[in-house]
Amino acid sequence: MNNQKRQWLRAVALTGAIYCAIGIGFSAFAAWSSSRRVAWNVASFVVSLVVFALHIGYEHFGIGNRPVVVAWHTSLAVALGSFLLAVSANINSLRVANAPHGLLAMALVVWPLMVGFPAFVVALLAAGGLHFFRRATV
C-alpha cells in the first residue's frame, strides 16, 4: 500500500473515531447537566464542525487531493463516526429490556447514510471553493 493511500485511510479512521468520541462524550455531559443539555448539544456540533473543517483542510492542503476525493474521504469519516455511534447505541441498548432493538439495528445502516450524503455535498462545495480560490491566486 503506498504512502498516500495510508495517509487518507489513517485520516478517515482517526476522524471517524474522533466523531464517535465527540458524540459519546458530549452526550454524557448533556446527561449530567439537564439544564445545559442544549448547550452541550450545540458544543458537540461546533466541535464536530471544526473537526470536519480540519479534515477538509488536511485532505486539500496536506495531501493535495482533488475536491471530489476530498469530499469522498471526508464523508467516509463522517459515516464511519455515525456507524460507530450506532454500534455504541446498540451495545448500550442491550442493558435495557424494552429498547427498540430492531430500530437500533436499522440505525447501523441509516445513520451513516443519513449523515454521509449531506457531508459529501458540503465537503464537495467547501473543497471546490478552496480549489477555485487556490487556483485563482496562483
Please give the pLDDT value at position 37. 85
Tens digit of pLDDT at every position of the chain (138 positions):
577 678 899 999 999 999 999 999 999 888 887 778 889 999 999 999 999 999 999 999 999 999 999 999 999 999 999 999 999 999 888 887 777 778 888 999 999 999 999 999 999 999 999 998 876 665
Cβ–Cβ < 8 Å for 24, 91: no
Provide the pLDDT for residue 71.
97
Terminal-residue alpha carbon distance, the chain: 32
Reported pTM: 0.89
Helix axes of 3-32 and 37-57: crossing angle, nearest 10 degrees: 170
Q: Which three cell numbers stand for residue 43?
A: 458544543
Cell of 117: 450524503
Q: What is the pLDDT of residue 102?
A: 82
Check residue 136 and give its pLDDT. Answer: 65
Q: Where are the alpha helices (H) located in the chain, listed in sequence order?
A: 3-32, 37-57, 67-93, 101-137
Residue 94 has a pLDDT of 85
